Amino acid sequence: MHLKGVWRVCYRVADLKPTGGRVADLKPTGGRVADFKAAGGLAAVGVESVQKMSHSVTMLEHTGGEADFIPFARPFTGREEEEAVLRVLRSGWLTTAEEALAFEREFAERLGRAAGYPLGALAVNSATSGLHIALEACGLGPGDVALVPAYTFTATAEAAVYLGAELAFIDCAADSFLLDTESLERTASRLALGKTAYETGGPAGRPRAVVPVHFGGLCCDMDAVNKTARRYGMAVVEDAAHAFPAYTEMGAPAGSLGDVGVFSFYATKTITTGEGGMAVSGNPDLVKRMSLMRWHGIDRPVWNRYTGGKASWYYEVIEAGYKYNLPDILAAIGRVQLRRADELLEKRKHIAACYDTAFSDCPLFSIPPGAAGDARHLYPLRLKQPLAAARDDCVRKLQELGIGVSVHFIPLHKMPYYRKRYGLKDGDFPNAEDAYSRVISLPIWPGMTDEQIRRVIDSVVKLIG
């Protein structure tokens, strides 16, 4: 057998001594798990010898993507998550119930402790659905305009469109990935005066909500965002999809700084449930409304109507709500990931520190700004000219070298739907375009081995260093 990449061998205890890799974990059932970094023949020898020494190998699982390829992202889950899923599968109740409630309680407790005041948390099946119920609860609707960054994923913007509102895009600050708060103020002021969002046109309507994005785990200037929001009567829904756990310079947690904060637990995010999210608010009225709309507009929790002898079967539908609940199987994974959030953060910080050290002197690109409270969800390198002109080539070549990379983000005004809807064109949001044209996001997932980190560094240096 010839193996490449990272492999995990599960075998029973006894006298096994793997010749390569390290013992990563102890199975409570009496088995062991070893992670092997299979570099060509060498580690394959390790795996083979485990198999030769005993017939008790119970599982051979490839954990490192195809062959030597280092994927751009990979969830960090293990035995505890597996056991949590099994616990739910065996419980006889697969959809939303006790696990989701516990996940919400634990998430709210953690964020509320960091914020210094109580918060309510609602588990949802994605951040996209969380943004939808958040904006709905804040009253966004036809005739309103939501102000959103041009430099983000479409989910930030599309939720407002679901509600019949219009969108005004805001550029990022020069040399930054984050919302330009002066531009935000200017656009809100124009709309409040009954003008179109931009001098060149765009939507008109009441500025009703702003959705700042904590890009890659870096917090926006929320003091400035909140000031503008208060001045024009806008709700603030933080898109904290990248930002668990992220903190401002003052130590306040992202997601607790506006009216509602929305986190994502999508497979590539800092903690994951595969698909999932959490909407958080310190305003009980907003929590109540979101809770109603999350589950069909039903006026009371009746999830246990089939189980408890005393459970009430009666309910009333008081709104045309949505079906955005998070099933218990996923919530159970989320509870484990939540407990491990700081451990995962430390691992990402370690990778970022290795990259920072290796790349800080390179004149051809700059390292991400970083900050004390950065959740380090992404590691976006910014190429400088003349190399920036060859960004697409660099992405392709890194992939050919076996390094999975990505580009965050393609600005929304370049997307055909928004372009057509608002008559937007290249050059409309120059800072977002500049950021997009130069960025390459490197892998920064917690399970990366030191060897993989080294390979990313060597490949980047070889190609563009």
Ligand X SMILES: Cc1ncc(COP(=O)(O)O)c(C=O)c1O
Helices H / strands E in the chain, number of each: 14, 14
**x/- map, 26-55, ligand X, by CB under 6 A:** ------------------------------
Least CB distance from residue 110 to ligand X, whole Å?
A: 19
Near ligand X by CB under 6 A: residue from 38, 122, 155, 401: 155
Near ligand X by CB under 6 A: residue from 10, 43, 50, 127: 127
* Closest to 261 measured CA to CA, from 116, 120, 141: 120
Contact stretch for ligand X (CB under 6 A) within 59-67, 140-148, 151-159, 302-310: 151-159
Near ligand X by CB under 6 A: residue from 99, 136, 180, 239: 239
Core vs surface per residue 143-153: b (16+ CB within 10 A) or e: ebbbbbbbbbb
203 touches ligand X by CB under 6 A: no
Near ligand X by CB under 6 A: residue from 264, 281, 291, 452: 264
Near ligand X by CB under 6 A: residue from 153, 295, 422, 436: 153
Strand order in the sheet with 120-124: 120-124, 277-281, 260-264, 235-239, 206-210, 144-149, 166-170
At which residue do the structure tokens 């954990």 appear?
Answer: 63
CA distances (Å), origin 285, targets 9, 137, 138: 51, 9, 10
149 touches ligand X by CB under 6 A: no
Near ligand X by CB under 6 A: residue from 266, 295, 429, 445: 266
> How many residues of this chain interact with ligand X, rule: CB under 6 A?
14
441 touches ligand X by CB under 6 A: no
238 touches ligand X by CB under 6 A: no
Residue type, 216: G
273 touches ligand X by CB under 6 A: no
Measured distance CA(235)–CA(258) in Å, rounded: 8
Least CB distance from residue 357 to ligand X, whole Å?
A: 27
Near ligand X by CB under 6 A: residue from 97, 108, 241, 257: 241
Least CB distance from residue 253 to ligand X, whole Å?
A: 17
Return the C-alpha torsion angle 9, 13, 16, 19, nearest 10. Answer: 40
Q: Would you call the peptide bond into 386 cis, given omega within 30 degrees of 0 as the criterion?
A: yes
Q: Measured from the CB atom, is 128 or 281 closer to ligand X?
A: 128
Taking CB atoms within 8 Å and a gap of at least 24, the contacts of 58-62 are: 58/10, 58/11, 58/12, 58/31, 59/8, 59/9, 59/10, 60/7, 60/8, 60/9, 60/10, 61/7, 61/8, 61/9, 61/10, 62/5, 62/6, 62/7, 62/8
Return the C-alpha torsion angle 315, 316, 319, 325, nearest 10. Answer: 10
Backbone dihedral region for residue 214 (phi beyond 0: left; psi -120 to 50: alpha; all else: beta): beta
Contact stretch for ligand X (CB under 6 A) within 136-144, 180-188, 239-247, 279-287: 239-247
Q: How many CB atoms lie within 10 A of CB 446?
A: 20
Q: Measured from the CB atom, is 36 or 169 closer to ligand X?
A: 169
Contact stretch for ligand X (CB under 6 A) within 65-73, 153-161, 419-427, 447-455: 153-161
Residue type, 112: G
Contact stretch for ligand X (CB under 6 A) within 9-17, 55-63, 121-129, 364-372: 121-129
Contact stretch for ligand X (CB under 6 A) within 25-33, 150-158, 225-233, 243-251: 150-158
* Closest to 78 measured CA to CA, from 4, 18, 26: 26
Least CB distance from residue 159 to ligand X, whole Å?
A: 9
Q: Measured from the CB atom, is 242 or 340 closer to ligand X?
A: 242
Q: Measured from the CB atom, is 156 or 183 closer to ligand X?
A: 156
Measured distance CA(212)–CA(232) in Å, rounded: 16
| Contact between 207 and 368 (Cβ < 8 Å) | no
| Contact between 5 and 39 (Cβ < 8 Å) | no
Q: Measured from the CB atom, is 190 or 376 closer to ligand X?
A: 376
Least CB distance from residue 144 to ligand X, whole Å?
A: 20
| Contact between 246 and 115 (Cβ < 8 Å) | no
Least CB distance from residue 451 to ligand X, whole Å?
A: 28
Q: Measured from the CB atom, is 214 or 289 closer to ligand X?
A: 214
Active site residues: 269
Least CB distance from residue 133 to ligand X, whole Å?
A: 12
Measured distance CA(89)–CA(84) in Å, rounded: 9
Q: Measured from the CB atom, is 37 or 242 closer to ligand X?
A: 242
Q: Measured from the CB atom, is 111 or 279 closer to ligand X?
A: 279
Q: Measured from the CB atom, is 127 or 188 closer to ligand X?
A: 127
* Closest to 242 measured CA to CA, from 266, 224, 260: 266
Backbone angles phi, psi at 7, to 5 degrees: -120, 155
Near ligand X by CB under 6 A: residue from 77, 156, 181, 270: 156
Least CB distance from residue 92 to ligand X, whole Å?
A: 28
Interaction site with ligand X (CB under 6 A): 126-128, 152-153, 155-156, 213, 239, 241-242, 264, 266, 277
